[in-house]
Structure 1
Amino acid sequence: MQQQADKIIQTLKSKGVRVTPQRFAVYADLLARSDHPTAEQISSHFNQDVPTSSQATIYKTLQALRDVGLVREVLLEEGVCRYDANIDPHHHFRCQSCSEVEDIAWEQFQTPNFQGLRPGLQVNHYELTLHGYCDRCQSA
């Protein structure tokens, strides 16, 4: 457990992020999750028992982590920004019924052919978002 905490602290410091209890807690929480929570969900999680962090602090922490490349914003639905500490290239599947989000391995799909794009467009990054129904919702 201490080894994991030391690794998180070292990672934050290596990116020039000042280590605060909130930054440590938010980053550690995101590393342990795969559900791509919203800032509101993170705030609610931390403040379940005793309010310890304002929503503004959570947003500022997420922005700081995003700015140094430790967290990425995931936009899978209109008006909802989710956060992911998995910064390796990957795609996403979003269930249209329960809104659960699941990572899909990058290698699962072949690289699209960008030759057909109109002249002048240059692709620097892409990811696929698949929408459908998860196995839990299909069986319900």
Structure 2
Amino acid sequence: MMNVTKRVSGTQDTAGEPLAAVLRKRGLRTTPQRILIEDALHSIGRHATADEVRAAVAERLPNCTTPTVYATLELLVELGRARKVQVGHGPARFDPRTDNHAHFLCTECGAIEDVPLPDSDRPAALALAAASSAGHEPHSAELVIEGRCARCRRERGRSAKGPVTASRRRRRPLR
């Protein structure tokens, strides 16, 4: 399944620079909330929802509001410092990895994992070319691979039991 996601024009990868420097170049204020939200996204160590980032930030900055977290995460995406991953009908997740890679979505537990691709630009380039040839103006492409993750395969054995529906899906922390 190929998801094409719109990215804000002018997006560039700024992950190598300190956030304060990037914000200053853009004429934006450097706030403790913005710095802490980016730090929390990286420290969570998986594809986090805005609510999960908010919970992590609340430990150190309890007055940081949920709208501030959402706005800052969207800003980090615009600045090329995070990727927004929207799979299925669940909440958007934010990935601190900004390099080209695919995502694996477990259809049993809902885990999202990064999958390195040997030629990481090729799948996205093919999807973008296909969308362009159909008359669209694509901004980016996201490759999402669906199936059963290694953990679920071990826990449930190798028998094919089919995907678990949302009502039967067990929950574990997403990576």
Task: Give the TM-score taking structure 2 as reference length.
Answer: 0.62
Q: Which amino acid aligns with 1:132?
A: G
Q: Of 124, 127, 141, which aligns to 1:126?
A: 141
Alpha-carbon offset, residue 107 of structure 1: 2.4
Aligned to 1:73: 84
SS at match of 2:104: strand
Aligned CA distance change for structure 1 residues 77 and 48 (closer, same or farther; 3 Å) = farther
Question: Which structure: greater helix fraction?
Answer: 1
Per-residue CA deviation, residues 48-95 of structure 1 (Å, 9 max, x unaligned), is 587331111111211222222222211112142111122222110011
Q: Which amino acid aligns with 1:40?
A: D
What 5-or-longer segments of structure 1 have no aligned partner?
1-5
Query: Quick check: 43-52 or 71-80, which moved more?
Result: 43-52
d(CA) in 2 for partners of 1:84 and 1:16? 25
Sequence identity percentage: 28
SS at match of 2:98: coil
Per-residue CA deviation, residues 78-125 of structure 1 (Å, 9 max, x unaligned), is 142111122222110011222221111232665448569865346553
Aligned to 1:94: 105
d(CA) in 1 for partners of 2:56 and 2:113? 20
Q: Is the 8 A contact 1:8 1:28 kept in 2?
A: no
Alpha-carbon offset, residue 38 of structure 1: 0.7
Q: Of 29, 33, 44, which aligns to 1:18?
A: 29
What 5-or-longer segments of structure 2 have no aligned partner?
1-16, 156-175
Alpha-carbon offset, residue 27 of structure 1: 0.9
Q: Is the 8 A contact 1:74 1:83 kept in 2?
A: yes
The CA RMSD measured in Å over matched residues stands at 3.0
Alpha-carbon offset, residue 130 of structure 1: 0.7
SS at match of 2:97: coil
d(CA) in 1 for partners of 2:93 and 2:49? 4
Question: Which structure: greater strand fraction?
Answer: 1
Aligned to 1:3: none
d(CA) in 2 for partners of 1:8 and 1:118? 37
Which structure has more relative contact order (CA 8 Å, sep 6+)? It is 2
Query: Quick check: 73-82 or 6-15, which moved more?
Result: 6-15
d(CA) in 1 for partners of 2:131 and 2:32? 49
Query: Quick check: 52-61 or 100-109, which moved more?
Result: 100-109
Alpha-carbon offset, residue 20 of structure 1: 1.0
Aligned to 1:106: 117
Q: Is the 8 A contact 1:71 1:84 kept in 2?
A: yes
